[in-house]
Amino acid sequence: MGRNAIYCGGAGNGSAAKICNNLAMGVSMAGVSEALALGQSLGITATALTRILNSSSARCWSSTVQDEKICTILRVILTLVLVVFAAQMFYEKEMTQHGSDTYNPVPGVMEGVPASKNYDGGFATKFMAKDLNFATASANEVDLTCPLASQARDIYTELCKEGHDSEDFSCIFRYYYSGKDEV
């Protein structure tokens, strides 16, 4: 159980928050799994790649789990890592400027991040689309299926076609969830 109690509103909102948390955790776990599987297929050990992920912009609960059984499951599941490598140096610089190791795609949640500056600055959507193209091409070369990478590539490519190519890649939030900005 969690250590923090955070008021979410009326009856049932706590359950809704739990569902949302688990959705984010599930997608995060799938992404980390894809990244580890692709990294291994490209010749990087899961241990080395985990150290890289945990010291860069991909750090998350799913990548910091220490239980060996869970780490083994992570190694087996699926694929996605080149995006992390391409954006790593940029994020280290960007996060240093913000004085934080966090990033949020929702306008109004955090000051100073691209989402709160109308997605100005940050890591351009066109570069994310390019990096996801590299990730899926690399996965194809080693006969590895990466459904999350492929779908993300398609989404970011569409965002570029819609004119969001120079905006920070977190603009995906507003594009798909318009009206959900933090108030």
Structure tokens at 116: 């709160």
Residues 6+ apart with CB under 8 A from 39: 45, 46, 49, 81
CA–CA separation, 57 and 101 (whole Å): 8
The residue among 183, 21, 163, 132 whose CA lies nearest residue 175 is: 163
Structure tokens at 105: 């795609």
- What is the crossing angle of helices 46-54 and 82-98, to 10°? 20
Instruction: List, by residue number, the catalytic residues.
Output: 18
